[in-house]
Amino acid sequence: MKKLANLRLPFYIGLSMVGGICIAGFFATDKYLLAITFILLFVGLLTTYIIYSVKGQNLTKSLIPIACFLLALLLGIGGFCLQLNSFKKADLGGGTYMVTGRVENLAKTNSGVRITVGNVRLSGKVNKSTSYKIAVYATGSFDNAPEVGDLVEFSCSLHDNGYIYENRLASDNLRRSIKYRANINLSEIKVTDSSPTIFESINIFVRDTLKSGMGESEFAVAYALLMGNDDYVDDQVILGFRQAGVAHIFAVSGLHIGFLATVLNFVFRKLKLKSWIAVILTFIILLFYSGACGFSSSSIRALVMCTTMLVITKLGLRYDGLSALGISAVLVLLICPAEAFCAGFQLSFIVVLGILVLSPYLKKAFKFMPKKLASSLSAVISAQVFSIPVSLWCFGEFSLVSVLLNLLFIPIVGIVYVTTLIAVIIASVFSIPTVALFISNILIKILIKVITFFDYGPFIVGGFSFGLFSIFLYAGILVGCCFFNFPKTVRTIACLSLILLSILGTTISGVVDYNRKQTYLLGTNSFCCAVITQKDYSAMVVSVYDDYCPQSRLNRIKVSSNIDSIDALIVTNYDGNTDIQNVVSAIYKVMPIKKVVYHGDIRLQEENALRLTFKGIETKNLPDGQQISMQGVVATFLNDGYCLTLNIKGKTTAIFSKFGDKPNYRGLNQKFDCVIAYDYAEQIFAEYSPKKCVSFLTSYRYLNAQNNGNLKNPF
């Protein structure tokens, strides 16, 4: 009997392990339908394999792969459960601690710097050392921040990070073991010593060399391109690259490893090194490069696949990309099972799978083209087709022009990458960073200008996700690419049926979701708002604004809710002197605003400024007690604008703003179905005893929009 599929044991073992981790993760986040679907899928595939493979073969020989698949599944389930349980048990429950630790990462924020502290020792309510890390959000100048590798100590109030964020697994915190967070001032951090690792020293050296020889924006992009760290890149630049569909250049992957391996191969051939010495040196250099980039899942995957290819080639054997992909997946997931839920892991592996499976068939379709163009075009299209479901799931959007831009962009990036890498080496040897990086600085400046000059917004498709139906889409593509040995007629019918099922299922679920009325709650120390979406109407209530707007989180709400603009922006009177123009300017960068409603007396100067700056915006002032109706949502200001009540579908929600030293939340003499508060939350909840209590900021007792992300339907 003809085999159903060619057996690449490492690939199917990796797939089984991913399945086990997904099953455990879906159960942990109460996504039971997804978990059951994966279980049934695994059982179905295993049964099919047994039917097609066991007949006519040695039973023992056939059972070995089956045992491997089951073991990998159980290993995935067990590994993830151990990682999650350990994370959950590390809760401290709050409290003030004296912390000593080691700086492992730095990133700029709008108000200062985010410092990741590892090797933590806590003194306070509990005295212990922990393997978990602290994300410290410190206000102050980034120039005054400690360096990576510095040993630091400080006193702070610690908060626990949960394992669910925006109704999904908080995979990034799990992956990086960031269990705690704190907010302090940079001046409170004392540096006691410094001990960077060799990998950190390489990273710091590259960063400082680039920074000393390039402009600020050029340095940020060059550093992200070489080291995969985009923490220094401006949000608007990142948005431009993302909308163009080329932001993947900031994640060290096969593209970067391939460029570096090509350079090394050229150098070693010129030096006439023996082949095995060249392979060993290439592996060592790529290993150090991956380490300097933080051993990201994409860099490990690329390292394993590249090394496997080099070794297999030198041995004169046939290289199998799927087996190498499976081996690298198993290695990454053994180290950290939660990687399976990270966008970087998913995109890295699914893109390579697409290139390996779909690209050869597209290349045949493009045989009328020049060979190199056909190869490049088939690879880019394969990568984009396979990445679309993941991009929609993780980011809520994808770019229609990404295929064209990547086709033109990748060769240019290769030139810029190699030029910058060589320039860094020359700059370090001769201590002439400005001169050595002059050409790279110009090339990257042009790159930024070209990418950010155009508005790719019209080419962005989003607001929906294949979700569960992406399984059918991938299955249809794999069947169509002869991944399974079905007869031609069966293959064609199965392929079209599966793809059609995925499209219909996504369309139907999207229509249902679009017609559903939704509310989102966003909370940070500097910005708090509620976004209320109806079928054809949307309103945003801004309760706190302190000169900072988390545009990335607002953009996720925009994409998730599929809204193009805000019909009514309601600004509360949280400090009695809110600068409405600043609020509107910050939000307008993410989505247009049609009407602004604010509390209190008429502010002619601010209204005139708004009309001059933003054409077509209506303004309306609303005193206490006066109602405004917005497509079925009735809003009313109370207590000098510090409280806004919303009547939605017959239920009343009260949103309390930031009070400061003199809270004014008593005396409303009303009953509320839901109360949302920024500060004095426990006192406010006790005062009104609502059925549902929601806090903007972190709370150990109540649902909150800081710990849990953009809360959907919190009312």
Residues 216 and 167 both lie in one domain: no
pLDDT of residue 1: 39
CATH number at residue 119: 2.40.50
Residue 57 has pLDDT above 60, yes or no: no
pLDDT of residue 414: 86
Residue 566 has pLDDT above 60, yes or no: yes
pLDDT of residue 6: 62
DSSP letter (8 states) at residue 147? P
Residues 411 and 477 both lie in one domain: no
Q: Distance between CA 316 and CA 283 in Å, rounded?
A: 18
For residue 48 the two structure tokens come to 């099919």
Task: Return the bridge partners of 133, or none.
Answer: 178
Residues 491 and 523 both lie in one domain: no
Amino acid at 626: Q
The answer to whether residue 367 sits within a structural domain is yes
More confident: 178 or 456: 178
For residue 486 the two structure tokens come to 């079905």
Q: Distance between CA 142 and CA 164 in Å, rounded?
A: 30
- CB burial string 104-114: b at 16+ within 10 A, e below: bbbeeeebbbb
Residues 279 and 405 both lie in one domain: yes
Which residue among 196, 227, 256 closes a domain? 196
Q: Distance between CA 173 and CA 661 in Å, rounded?
A: 34
Residue 515 has pLDDT above 60, yes or no: no
Query: If DSSP codes are grouped into helix, strand and coil, which group holds residue 317?
Result: coil
Measured at the alpha carbon of residue 527, what is the angle toward residues 523 and 531, in degrees to the nearest 5? 65
**Mean pLDDT computed over every residue of the chain:** 86
Residue 649 has pLDDT above 50, yes or no: yes
The answer to whether residue 310 sits within a structural domain is yes
Residues 264-271: what's their mean pLDDT?
86
**pLDDT cut 90: percent of the chain above it:** 32
Residues 522 and 434 both lie in one domain: no
Confidence of residue 442 (pLDDT cuts 50, 70, 90): very high
Range scoring the smallest mean pLDDT among 68-72, 106-110, 529-533 = 106-110
Question: 434 and 213 in contact (C-beta within 8 Å)?
Answer: yes
More confident: 462 or 140: 140
pLDDT of residue 70: 93
Q: Distance between CA 151 and CA 554 in Å, rounded?
A: 36
Burial of 62 (0-12, 13-18, 19+ CB in 10 A): middle
Residues 597 and 682 both lie in one domain: yes
More confident: 322 or 86: 86
Cα-Cα-Cα-Cα dihedral sign, residues 128, 132, 137, 138: positive
Residues 517-523: what's their mean pLDDT?
88
Residues 70-90: what's their mean pLDDT?
95
Residues 315 and 441 both lie in one domain: yes
Within 10 A of 431 (CB to CB), how many other CB atoms are there? 11
Which of 246, 243, 308, 262 has its CA nearest to residue 415? 262
1-4 CB contacts, 8 Å cutoff, 24+ apart: 1/52, 1/55, 1/56, 2/485, 3/52, 3/53, 3/485, 4/48, 4/49, 4/52, 4/53, 4/484, 4/485
The answer to whether residue 163 sits within a structural domain is yes
pLDDT of residue 512: 60
pLDDT of residue 244: 84
Per-residue pLDDT reduced to its tens digit, 531-546: 998 877 899 999 988 8
pLDDT of residue 700: 78
Task: Return the bridge partners of 568, or none.
Answer: 539
Residues 416 and 531 both lie in one domain: no
The answer to whether residue 227 sits within a structural domain is yes
Burial of 445 (0-12, 13-18, 19+ CB in 10 A): middle
The answer to whether residue 73 sits within a structural domain is no
Q: How many domains does the chain have?
A: 4
Which residue among 172, 196, 220 closes a domain? 196
Cα end-to-end distance, the chain, whole Å: 59
Largest CA distance in the chain: 87
CATH number at residue 554: 3.60.15.10
Q: Is beta strand 168-169 parallel, antiparallel or unpaired with respect to 133-139?
A: unpaired
The answer to whether residue 524 sits within a structural domain is yes
pLDDT of residue 398: 82
Which residue among 473, 491, 513 closes a domain? 513
Per-residue pLDDT reduced to its tens digit, 494-505: 889 988 988 888
Question: 83 and 25 in contact (C-beta within 8 Å)?
Answer: no
- CB burial string 599-628: b at 16+ within 10 A, e below: bbeebeebbeebeeebeebebeebeeeeeb
pLDDT of residue 401: 84
Residues 426 and 456 both lie in one domain: yes
pLDDT of residue 116: 95
Residues 352 and 495 both lie in one domain: no
Range of the domain at 479: 464-513
The answer to whether residue 14 sits within a structural domain is no
Residues 313 and 357 both lie in one domain: yes
Per-residue pLDDT reduced to its tens digit, 300-317: 888 888 888 888 877 777
Greatest mean pLDDT among 77-86, 274-283, 318-327, 472-481 lies in 77-86
Residues 649 and 702 both lie in one domain: yes
Residues 666-693: what's their mean pLDDT?
90
Residue 602 has pLDDT above 50, yes or no: yes
For residue 104 the two structure tokens come to 């492992």
The answer to whether residue 386 sits within a structural domain is yes
Residue 2 has pLDDT above 60, yes or no: no
Residues 683-703: what's their mean pLDDT?
90
Per-residue pLDDT reduced to its tens digit, 10-24: 888 999 999 999 999
Confidence of residue 666 (pLDDT cuts 50, 70, 90): confident
Amino acid at 625: G
pLDDT of residue 133: 96
Residue 256 has pLDDT above 90, yes or no: no
For residue 344 the two structure tokens come to 């970087």
Per-residue pLDDT reduced to its tens digit, 371-425: 888 888 898 899 888 988 888 888 777 888 888 888 888 888 888 888 999 999 9
